[in-house]
Each structure stands twice: as structure tokens, then as C-alpha cells.
Amino acid sequence: GVSPLEQMLWGSILADFASIYLAILNNVNPTPVELIEKLKVELVK
């Protein structure tokens, strides 16, 4: 990346892919995020 922002975004994307890959390798579903699920429940109320 050329700019610091571009470098940060690339790092974030790389970390996302790495965490998904590691979850799959460990037979863990990477999609449910507990905090987001709680937020969805609260927003419905």
C-alpha cells in the first residue's frame, strides 16, 4: 500500500481472511459473532 490508510485496510482484510481460515481449520463456524447476535436481539425489542 502507498498510504497509511491503505496499509491499515489491507492489514484488516488480511487478518479477517486469516481468522476465517484458522476457524475452518479448527472446525469452528467463523460466522456467528456473539456480540452482533446480542445486538440483533436487542434491536428487535
29 phi, psi to nearest 5 deg: -75, 115
Mean pLDDT of 15-22: 95
The domain in which residue 21 lies consists of 4-44
Per-chain mean pLDDT for the chain: 93
Count of structural domains, the chain:
1
Where residue 4 falls (left for φ over 0; alpha for ψ -120 to 50; beta otherwise) is alpha
pLDDT at 1 over 80: no
Q: Is the pTM for the entire model greater than 0.75?
A: no
Please report which confidence band the pLDDT of residue 32 belongs to, taking 50, 70 and 90 as the band edges.
Answer: confident
Confidence band, pLDDT 50/70/90 cuts, at residue 7: very high
